Structures are given as C-alpha cells and as structure tokens.
Structure 1
Amino acid sequence: MISIFKFFVLVAIFNKSLADDYLLNKKRFPADFMFGVATSAYQIEGAWNEDGKSMSTWDNLTQTDPETILDGSNGNIACDSYHKYKEDVAMLKELGVDHYRFSLSWSRILPNGFPDQINQPGANYYKNLIRELRANGIEPMVTIFHWDLPLALQELNGVLNESFIDWYADYAAVCFELFGDDVKLWTTFNEPKQTCTGGYGYAYFIPYIHSEGLLEYQCAHNVLRAHAKAYRIYDERFRASQGGKVSIVLDAYSYLPASDSAADITAAETRMQFDLGWYANPIFNGDYPEIMKSRIANRSKGEGRDVSRLPEFTDEEKIALNGSADFFGLNVYTAALVAAMDDPPISNPPSKYQDMGVNDYQPSDWETTSLDWLKVAPWTIRHLLNWINDHYHQPDIIVTENGVCDNTGTFQDTQRVSYIQRYLSNIRDTMEQDGVNVIGYIVWSIMDNFEWAQGYTQRFGLHHVDFDSPNRTRTPKQSAQYYKNVCETKCLVDDDFECID
C-alpha cells in the first residue's frame, strides 16, 4: 500500500497540477517510448457476414434489438476496414505512430467458436493487415478478445460456462499459431470489467443480465482463469520461438480520497481494490485483494450463505495466475473522488456497491464532455500510475487507451488536443519525477467508429469518418495533426525548439 507520507506528497502535487499555474512538461519522451492508436474489430471492420464469418453477440443484438443502441445503428459496415485496411495503414503511416492496437474477431476466425473449423479468409484478413503494418514500420499490438463473442458460444451460456476457460484458451492458441511469428505484443482480454459488471452486474451491456454481486463475480473468475490458461499456453508452446509479450487490458478510474481524512483515504484504497485490484491482484499477486475476500465473505455469511459469493481460486490456479502478465495494460479516461460512508446494512439481493461500502462521485466543477461519466481530470492519472507501480512490483505500463469524445465529429477538436496534451504531460511528470516505468501511450481512437450502445453518436477519433458516404471517407482532425507532431518530436509542444532534451 502507498505510504502515508508518499500519499500526502502526491496530494500536494495533484493539487498543484489542478491549479491554473500547472506547467506543461516540455521534456521529450524517451526515444523508444511507444506512441500508438487503437481500434477494435466490431467497431471498425464491417463485413459482418462476409467470407465465412459467423454471427457474434453484437451482430445479433444490433440486428434483433436495434432499440438498445442509442441511434438504432449497427456495425454491419462501420468504417468498412475489412475492405479498406490498406487505406487505414496508410493513415497510420501518415500519423507517424509506431504501434497499432487492434482486436481479432473470434467469429471471423472460428465461425463455430471452436478450433476444429478455422475460417481461412478471416485468418487471411488479419495476416494481410499484419503484413501491411510491418511493411510500413508499424508494430501490431493484438487484442484476442474485445467483447464480440461468437453467438454460438453465448447460446451455450457464454462466459458463465465453466468450459469457457478451455474455449478461450483453444482460441488463443489458434491466434498464437496463426499470427504469432509477426506479433510481439498480445493482450488476452479488453476491459473484462465491462464484460462482467456491465454484462452480468449492472446489466448495461451484453448479455444484459442483472446479477450484482453474484454472476458478475463468477464471470470475472472465469475470465481470469481463461487469461491465465492462455498465458501459460504461450509460455509453454510459443514464447521460445516467437519471443512475444502477453498481458491483459484493464480499465480503471483513478479513485482519489475526497479529503485527507484517514476514513476517506481508506475508502479510496478500498474502491481501487474493488475496481482495478479485482482483476489486477490475481494476475500480479496470485489472488483477489484481501479487502474483497474479507468484506464479501462477511456479508455473504450475514446473508445466510454457507460460502462467499466471491469464488475461490485453487492453489494450482493461483500459481497459474501469479505473474501472468509481461506488462500492465491500462485503459484510463477519467477519475472520481471517494468518501467514506456508513457500512450498508445486509440485504438481499446483494450488490458490489454494498460489498465495497464507499461512495464515489465526480465534482461538478470538473471539465465536462459529451458523455456524463467522462470528466476531464488529467492530473489524476499520476495517482493511478503510482498506485499501480506501488501495488504490482513496478511493472512496465502501457496506457493502452486514453481519449475523449464529442458528439459532433468536429474537425476543430480543441478539447481532444488539450486532453491528449495534458494527460501525456502528467504521464511524463510521473515518469520523470516518480520513476514510474510507463513505456507507451495509445490514443482511442485512430478514427470515429461504432461506440457500442452509443452507436455513432459519440466520436472519439483523431480522424473524422463520413458514415453517410459509401466510401466511409476518413479526414484528419486538428487532433491528428497535433498527435502526428508528438509522434515525430516526442514532445508535447508545437515548437520543437521549446522541447527539452
């Protein structure tokens, strides 16, 4: 846990960073620092039923229940990247990034979900994309699963099926076999918290099952075990010949204490453990955080249950999980403050909110965006990066997603420029002043795309996409020009002579 002395030092820094006199860090990033952009398969590819691809859960949802999407849209065509991947790579080349993070479509590679039937046209699409990237000096960073589960597997109870662990591990092995000679950076799952809390907890995401504090814990348990099994398969069968690195992408708010009281400091630590620690602690330390285990066990007992609602790992599973990441993949967009509260009374049905027993909120004076939850708080990333550094053995950290939205797709996206600049400045402060080893930064996203339940109403792209055009024309925004300069100079200001070597 972070020391009390270090905590107060950081609070002073954060308050200074929030102030109007915060000075942008003009020191160049290291020459080997990774700058990249990200996308995911369902959000950009289109070609939803072409060349042997089967239906995914998102294909099915948007076809059968379009009212669940804010604008009634779907990813049938999206950015049409399945047909325009060469144009996309040219766009990446022009931007000057050295890494491109994208995901594979499980149902495009394995139409029935299982390795007995590999869809060669689908595999060829990714082979061609990877080949084009490497020919242009861009390293692929491949996410194996980014939410689009084959419908055939969801109909077998999906992630909740104990067999999911083997289904996923088999799929990951196929991906390593097909693409691993040319891919050196892998992530197993993108934001499993959204899959589990969204899909099986608060029910704001596929498959929209409301089971807070119950099935959301089982979902996470299965995902973590699937991740560990895939990681160990890479260790045993592929690492020696392919020489890559494997991790997972975890999303987190930076949760800061609402005051300097001991109660609020403890509450913020509890919130972090129930959020990021829930997934990170098993992977980096071998088991769920102690605060989760003790609080959920005690509340489960009070509810009259014989066992905790939080599943337990076997000793063998703890060994497989412990150290099953070669770097820390972090998606971060915003933050919140955390205050202590009276412990919620024992009640049924349970919830993770009651299990945590703290209150978090975003101050009304923080900078707003077109999404209610996405407040701009760049100074808070320093707290989060230090927290990861202190809890998980000083890992190499790659910020695998960071970005901001608007609902107009404006070309003069000054807020996005400012957001990227200020978050990167605070990252540079953390590297330089705190010794945290951040080795890469990836913007979400290279271009506007299908934003899940928000459809096309929210734009995160550095490039505008004209979704009314059959050509899906891509046009750089002001933020693309800014980020191109950052990639070229490794510095956050426009004038190179102002940069500090």
Structure 2
Amino acid sequence: MKELLIIVISYTIVSHVCCCDFEYPTFPDGFKFGAAISSYQSEGAWNVSDKGVNDFDHWTHTCPECIGDRSNGDIACDSYHKYKEDVKLLRKIGFKFYRFSISWARILPSGLANNVSKDGIMYYKNFINELYMNGIEPLVTLYHFDHPQGLEDMGGWTNELMTQWFVDYANIIFTEFGPSVRIFITINEPSTLCTGYQATYVAPSKPLGDVGYYLCMHNVLKAHAMAYHLYDKKFRPSQHGLISIAIACDGYTLNENNDVVSAETYFEFTCGIMAHPIFIGDYPAIVKERLALVSKSQGYTVSRLPTFSPEWISYIKGTVDYFALNHYTSNLVSPDPDELHGIHNSDSGLLTNQHPSWPNSSSFWLRVYPDGFGNLLRKIKTDYNNPEIYVTENGFSDYGELQDYDRINYFRLYLKELIIAVTRDGCRISRYTVWSLLDNWQLAAGYAVSFGVVKVDFNSPNRERTLKLSAAWWADVIGTHTLQDVPSK
C-alpha cells in the first residue's frame, strides 16, 4: 500500500508539472547536438568488397512483399560511397557529433572472428578520420539490427552462443577503432531487434510464437554485459571511453481514470525490461509476475521469460556509463477488461492507443505528444538515480517535403520539454541526437516515410542530397545554442 501511495504521488506531481507552461529557451553550457544514421539503412554497397550477407539483405531479397514498397537497402543513401559528402552536410548544419553504426558483416563477412575484412576496417577508419578532420565527434554503435546471415542460420539471438560471437566482434571493434572513438553503444533498441523473432515486419522476420522475443532479449542483455566488461577491463584503461546500450522507451500518459498501476506496468514492459536489469538488477517484478501468470494460463510448465542466476544479475547490473535513450512517441494505457474474466490477450494485460487530438506523422505509430517525453525523462531520473542521459534518437516522419514545418514543430516541442527537464527538474541530459541526418530506408515502411533533415532522391542513381527547412532551423538552434521558433509559412 505504501509503495502504491508513492507511485500515486509521483504520477500526480508529473501530471501537475506537465500542465504548466514554462520557457527555458537556452540550452545548458556544454550541451551537444548530433545526428544519427545506421549502416543498413544508409550505406548501401550491400555486396561491395568482401562484405557478407546480413539478415536484412536476406530478408528483403527473399521476402520483398514484407516491405511496404518492396524496396531494400542494397543502395539506400549510398553513404558507403558518399560519406565525405554526408560529413560536409553535418559540418554545414553544425552538428557536433555523428552517431552511426558499423555493419557487422562488413567487418566479419561470416560473422565469426576468423575472417576479418581489411577493406571493412579501412572504410570505417577513413570515415572516422573524415569526421575528425571536420570537427565532428564519432559516436559508434557496434550493432544496429544487422548481423551476418550465417549467424542467423545458426539461431541468431535465440542461440546463447550469439553472446560470444558478439563479444568476439566487439573485441575487434574496440581494438581497431577504440584508440580514436571515445563513445560506444553496444546494441541498438533490443526491443525492436527482438521483435524480429516475434513478427514479420523486421529482420530476421522469424515469428517464433510466444518465446522468441524473450529469448532474444535475455541473450542481448548478456551480450551487452559481456562486451561492457570486456571494454572495462581490457580497453578502458588506455582508451578512456564510455559505453552504453540504446534503450527504446515510449512515453505514456494516464487515462481518464488516472490509472497509475497501468502506467507503471507499461513503463516496465517497454523500458524497464531492459533498463531495470542494468540500473537496478534483474527484470522488473511486475514483468516476472505477469509472464509467470500468462505462461501458466497458456499451458507452459515454466515462464516464457528466462531466469537470470544471481551471478548474471550481478554481472549485468551497472554495465552502462550513461543512459542512451531512443524516444519518438507516447501512448495512452489502460487495463484490458478481459483480464477481469481471466483472459490474457497480452503479456502486460494492457490496452494502448494514441489520442486522436495528438498531431500525426507519416508513420502510423508516431503521434506528437511532447508531455510524454518530459514524463519519461523525469521517470528515468526518479527510478534510476538520475543517470546522465544521452538522447540517442528522436525524430519525426513525413513524406519527404522540403518545407518540413511539422518536423520543426516536433523538434521544438520536444526540445522544450528537454530544457524544462534539465533546467527545472534537474535531469542530467547532456546530448541530443536527431534521427536522422538523411532520409533513409525505414524497415517495413521502406522509403515511403522520411525522417531526415536532408532529403535524398532515391529515384536518382546519384542519390542527390538537398537540405530541408529543418536543416536551416537546426543550424540556427546549434549556432545560437537557443531554441528557435518555427519559421512562418
């Protein structure tokens, strides 16, 4: 009862805070802005040099109907060949760092460490050098969804051996790039990655019933922790870098009944399932309880959520140097009424939707609700002892228009919430990353939706780039270190 009272009080405070209108237009000293992209979504050059076939290559080539426009990333933005042009765009806009991912199959064509591609190593070294020559800091993600298909043929992230294969890969990355890279992310968005073992709209597109998702999440946590400890013991003493894992966290808002229990459950199932083992230890209690309950009702003899031993709980806890947060949108959450009749339609027992008054985007799942972002930042502060936060992805999709006023409005609203969270609420946020620099290939949506502040002409073999209005807006924000108004139409 006492714990529930604390939750009610905290949610009441959050609700009150978000009703107020504060203006803190200036960003803190030292705050840095960057942009992001990922290897498969932008590089192209899918079979150039000795790069191996990865799971996205295999998925898009064998199931083109799985992609809305039947497209793939074979060429994508052709950043493999045009990276110098992309770096010039970063510099022109004023971004201080660039978050990009390395293609596992470009470094280890088979996925295993016995065959290292010299061309792949040299490509990324040249890329990193180009960034530094233009005054831009690299923020390197080791793995952003795409792994060699040979490893997937052996089970991918449902095979515990994947943890060692990943660590072998990480060892090469730290060895080759660690002397010049100071900030790493091991794995991007495990919840999205692991959906590939639950549904068909993301690679490897293996719907393994009720079990695959949690097997994947479990092994990802182990792999991340192993890579963190490898870096901490072998490389940090000489390289002095930082390392984390990018966690996707949706925001949330209370329904008309102010149902704080549902809100807490939603947070733990979407964000806490990955953050709790790292910042507190083990999976959240409500996640373990619900999975045990639902698994039993489905006839399983044990929970579909694997169990960590005490040794693994201790080993995983504390394995980040900052909270890497990917955030786009929020949801209204409420209990599923079927739960009252013992019917479990979902593991969380919740229904989610988005209010029709929230402005929409070109992505069916993304509506604009900046208060949810502010709520989330304060929640992370409260639950995880106010860690330093890097916002490693945040962005808005449209249909590729150059006069992208809706995107600018999104950025302005969300950055305002960020400033409030930092200046008034004491959240320790020091970096913000735009998703994305370029329009790019967007998983099952293909090229039908656009997230970039730079337009890419995917109908042209040259993939010409054109700065959008939002790029000019960002140049003003970064140049003045001050939040700018949306330009007049």
Q: Where on the TM-score scale, by shorter chain, does this alignment land: which range? A: over 0.9
Matches within 5 A, 1:291-370: 291-342=286-337, 343=339, 354-370=346-362
SS in 1 for 2:100: strand
SS in 2 for 1:200: coil
Q: 1:206 to 1:344 in 2, by over 3 A?
A: farther
Deviation at 1:136, TM superposition (A): 1.4
After superposition, give the CA deviation of every residue in 1:386-438 in whole Å (9 maximum; x if it has no partner): 1111111210011111110112x111000011111110011000111111111
User: 1:332 and 1:221 mapped to 2: Cα distance?
Assistant: 22
User: 1:344 and 1:464 mapped to 2: Cα distance?
Assistant: 50
Q: 1:61 to 1:304 in 2, by over 3 A?
A: closer
The reply on whether 1:121 has 2:119 as its aligned counterpart is: yes
Q: Which of the numbers 60, 64, 67 marks the counterpart of 1:66?
A: 64
Preserved CA contact (<8 Å) 1:103 1:144: yes
For structure 1, which segment, 204-213 or 137-146, has the greater mean C-alpha deviation from structure 2 after superposition? 204-213
Other-structure match for 2:242: 245
User: 1:206 and 1:458 mapped to 2: Cα distance?
Assistant: 18
Q: Which of the numbers 425, 446, 458 marks the counterpart of 1:455?
A: 446
User: 2:405 and 2:13 mapped to 1: Cα distance?
Assistant: 32
User: 2:113 and 2:239 mapped to 1: Cα distance?
Assistant: 21
Preserved CA contact (<8 Å) 1:344 1:354: no
User: 2:204 and 2:55 mapped to 1: Cα distance?
Assistant: 8
Deviation at 1:287, TM superposition (A): 0.4
Instruction: Flag structure 2 segments of 5+ consecutive residues without an equivalent.
Output: none
Preserved CA contact (<8 Å) 1:106 1:145: yes
Q: Which of the numbers 33, 46, 51 marks the counterpart of 2:44?
A: 46
Corresponding letter in the other structure for 1:301: K
Deviation at 1:34, TM superposition (A): 1.5
User: 2:114 and 2:292 mapped to 1: Cα distance?
Assistant: 41
The reply on whether 1:415 has 2:406 as its aligned counterpart is: yes
Deviation at 1:195, TM superposition (A): 1.4
Corresponding letter in the other structure for 1:398: Y
Preserved CA contact (<8 Å) 2:43 2:78: yes
Task: Compute the TM-score of the two structures, normalised by the length of structure 1.
Answer: 0.93
User: 2:133 and 2:369 mapped to 1: Cα distance?
Assistant: 38
Q: Which of the numbers 403, 409, 427 marks the counterpart of 2:418?
A: 427
Corresponding letter in the other structure for 2:9: F
User: 1:297 and 1:282 mapped to 2: Cα distance?
Assistant: 18
User: 1:373 and 1:108 mapped to 2: Cα distance?
Assistant: 32
The reply on whether 1:174 has 2:172 as its aligned counterpart is: yes
User: 1:212 and 1:30 mapped to 2: Cα distance?
Assistant: 47
Q: 1:232 to 1:7 in 2, by over 3 A?
A: same
Deviation at 1:76, TM superposition (A): 1.2
Q: Which of the numbers 200, 225, 229 marks the counterpart of 1:232?
A: 229
User: 1:76 and 1:218 mapped to 2: Cα distance?
Assistant: 30
Other-structure match for 1:376: 368
Q: 1:267 to 1:470 in 2, by over 3 A?
A: same
User: 2:74 and 2:177 mapped to 1: Cα distance?
Assistant: 25
Other-structure match for 1:498: none
Cα-Cα RMSD: 1.7
Other-structure match for 1:14: 18
Instruction: Flag structure 1 segments of 5+ consecutive residues without an equivalent.
Output: 17-21, 496-501
Q: 1:23 to 1:414 in 2, by over 3 A?
A: farther
Preserved CA contact (<8 Å) 2:412 2:485: no
Deviation at 1:283, TM superposition (A): 1.1
Other-structure match for 2:31: 33
Deviation at 1:346, TM superposition (A): 5.7
Other-structure match for 2:381: 389
Other-structure match for 2:394: 402
After superposition, give the CA deviation of every residue in 1:323-344 in whole Å (9 maximum; x if it has no partner): 0011001111100111133426
Q: Which of the numbers 5, 9, 12 marks the counterpart of 2:9?
A: 5
User: 1:344 and 1:220 mapped to 2: Cα distance?
Assistant: 29
User: 1:361 and 1:344 mapped to 2: Cα distance?
Assistant: 20
User: 1:3 and 1:265 mapped to 2: Cα distance?
Assistant: 7
Corresponding letter in the other structure for 2:329: T
Deviation at 1:44, TM superposition (A): 0.9
Other-structure match for 2:430: 439
Deviation at 1:212, TM superposition (A): 4.8
Preserved CA contact (<8 Å) 2:69 2:448: yes
User: 1:321 and 1:346 mapped to 2: Cα distance?
Assistant: 35
Other-structure match for 1:158: 156
User: 1:252 and 1:125 mapped to 2: Cα distance?
Assistant: 32
Q: 1:217 to 1:346 in 2, by over 3 A?
A: farther
**Identical pairs, percent:** 43
Query: Number of aligned pairs?
Result: 481
The reply on whether 1:280 has 2:275 as its aligned counterpart is: yes
Q: 1:345 to 1:120 in 2, by over 3 A?
A: farther
